[in-house]
Amino acid sequence: MPSDFADLLAANAAFAETFDLAGFDGVAHRGVAVVTCMDSRIDPLRMLGLEPGDAKIFRNPGGHVTDQALDAMVLGVHLLGVERILVVPHTRCALASSSEEELRRKVSAASGQDASWTSWNVVTDQAAALREDVARVRSHPLIPARVPVGGFMYDVDTGLLEQLV
């Protein structure tokens, strides 16, 4: 079967030759969970000095604390060893520098389809949105108070994290 993914499957075969994560459990070994953006400039493990197996990572456009992100944090805390939660939006995020209308227009133009019905969780004030997102996690009835929840801005130009919440 010809594959659109041939290059990636070839790389995977090489990866599997030296695969050393067999028998790994699904626990976050460093007790860390991260909610962050899908942006390809972000390497969530490396930016925190973590390795595969150390953390639970939940990504979406913008790095927002959605209902699904909350589900992931609840599972992480109660079943998967999570003891600290970081919410990490980033500088120059498309979801903080465009309006809903602009994104709909761009997707419509790129797809040639009507995208006026889409909604993107665009934010105009990232710091305020981060405060709200962190509050959503902290106030969740199934996230215990013993779990620290921090809000951080990741600078995609310097690699630095700044804690804002």
Where do contacts with Zn ion occur on this chain (CB under 5 A)?
37, 39, 93
Nearer to Zn ion, 72 or 147 (CB): 72
- CB of 43 vs Zn ion, minimal distance in Å: 13
- CB of 92 vs Zn ion, minimal distance in Å: 8
Nearer to Zn ion, 74 or 164 (CB): 164
Query: 65 with 133: CB under 8 angstroms?
Result: yes
- CB of 144 vs Zn ion, minimal distance in Å: 29
Q: Which two tokens stand for residue 18?
A: 């030296």
Query: 132 with 126: CB under 8 angstroms?
Result: no
Dist CA 137 CA 53 (whole Å)? 23
CA–chain centroid gap for 164, Å, is: 17
Query: 39 with 60: CB under 8 angstroms?
Result: no
Nearer to Zn ion, 39 or 133 (CB): 39
- CB of 12 vs Zn ion, minimal distance in Å: 26
- CB of 136 vs Zn ion, minimal distance in Å: 18
Dist CA 152 CA 155 (whole Å)? 10
Query: 57 with 127: CB under 8 angstroms?
Result: no
Nearer to Zn ion, 37 or 147 (CB): 37
Nearer to Zn ion, 63 or 81 (CB): 63
Dist CA 71 CA 146 (whole Å)? 18
